[in-house]
Amino acid sequence: MSHPEYSIHFQQETAASDSIKELAAYTALSATLMAVLYYLVYFDPTTYVHMVTEDRFGEWFTAVAYALTSLILAFLAWKHAAGVKRLLWSLMALVLFLLSAEEISWGQRVFHFHTPKNLVDLNLQSEMNLHNLAVLGDLNSTIYNYLLSLLILWIAFSLIVKLRAPGVNQRLLAWGIPVYPLKLLPVLALPVWMWTVFPPIKSDETGEFMLSLAIFLWAVDAFSQRVAPRAANNNGKLVTMALLLAVAVTLLACWQRPGSLRYRLNNLAADSYPGSGMYTQAEVLFQYIYAHPEHLTVDTRINHGRMLMQQGDTERAASVLEEARREVADSPNLDVTEKKLRNAVIASILGDHEMDIRLFGEINQDMEQQLAASSSDTERVTLMFRKAKILEARGDYAASAAATQAAKDEAKRTGVKVSRLR
């Protein structure tokens, strides 16, 4: 004869055991993802750059994860919710759909449609999205800071409610307010780690990737609990299938997409990695660029020479910069001023201060003459921004900031759109 109290006790022990196993599984998943990213950023920087470049795996996985999460929440809202809960979950589904669309510029590079002219003039990247509007300025970084704070609060709130106030937890879940499951908290902690501790090598992109994964797994868990509550033991299978689906759709979407690989390779090789003292990784990227000449720019060797000089490898730096001089002289895409600018930068790196000062003096004189001869507001503002960039290249950051502000003031006074000029 069975005893009900023994049966209830057994079910509670089984549920606790399953929760511990799931927590261990998600902790292992989080640790594995973190280990892979650390390995890539330190030991395989080329693959890491491919991952964090636009139209590549990281961006597409983020977009696909948000899109699938939006579909799951929309389904739950209309099939398994009512009242305030339906409204809240529908709103979350809409927000995640918008995030997914914004992440890939509403599929612009997939369907090859042009950005409307009015938006071209306002968007810093001339793309079909809102988050790159010039009018937003530094709002994106502000949003990241608020998002990081909200994530930390969400983690703390979920821990307190789950562990200390189970009654409140049940009430919030009934209203549709998302309380993140304890077993998934290791995954939700990943974007916080990426934005605070991980080396600042495009960690914003990897943070977005991890956040989309955490939200996606939460939606899959909510789906399994409501649609198939008896299949709790099959949660692992459901999560695995969902992740495989997300990865498959991501690979299909980004397959053979060109993206912005040349820009990203040069940017991380010249700035991000050396700026973090990771010269070995930067050297790997420079060698990859040389092996794939389609990624070369007129500034690649100049930046490489600067990095070698910083490391004290003057002989190699001189050789690389001499090759850079030849490329500058032979470049059909540079005007006289641009060639003088790059030769002045090379001279500055090599310590030839006499040539450096002479060339920058000539450049400044050329710019003043061009400004005096400018025949339109647009041309004048463009030249003012160009002068600011030249001062930045010279290393005179205070003068560059002042010149940039003067250009902005002139653009505002004359009504010239600056997003297309900078």
Six token digits for residue 398? 């205070």
DSSP annotation of 234? G
Task: State the sign of the Cα–Cα–Cα–Cα dihedral 176, 178, 181, 182.
Answer: negative
Burial of 211 (0-12, 13-18, 19+ CB in 10 A): buried
pLDDT tens across 201-241, in order? 877 889 888 989 998 898 888 888 777 655 445 566 566 66
Helices then strands, each counted (H, E), the chain:
20, 0
Domain ranges of the chain: 4-103+138-254, 261-373
CA 60 to CA 51: how far, in whole Å?
10
Q: Angle formed by the axes of helices 203-227 and 139-164, to 10°?
A: 40
Q: How many CB atoms lie within 10 A of CB 169?
A: 17
Element (H, E) at 105: none
Burial of 248 (0-12, 13-18, 19+ CB in 10 A): exposed
pTM: 0.81
CA 232 to CA 235: how far, in whole Å?
5
- What are the helix (H) ranges across 83-175? 83-103, 108-111, 117-120, 139-164, 166-175
- pLDDT in 10s for each residue of the chain, 422 residues: 445 544 333 334 334 445 788 888 899 999 999 999 999 999 999 999 998 888 788 888 888 888 889 999 999 888 877 778 888 888 888 988 888 887 777 777 666 666 666 665 665 555 666 655 555 555 566 665 676 677 778 778 877 877 777 777 777 767 777 778 888 889 988 988 988 889 888 778 898 889 899 988 988 888 887 776 554 455 665 666 677 677 766 666 655 555 588 999 999 999 999 999 999 999 999 999 999 999 999 999 999 999 999 999 999 999 999 999 999 999 998 888 889 989 999 999 999 989 988 998 898 888 888 888 888 888 888 888 888 888 887 777 788 888 888 888 888 888 776 554 44
CA 142 to CA 134: how far, in whole Å?
15
For domain 261-373, the CATH class is: mainly alpha
Query: Is 123 strand, coil or helix?
Result: strand
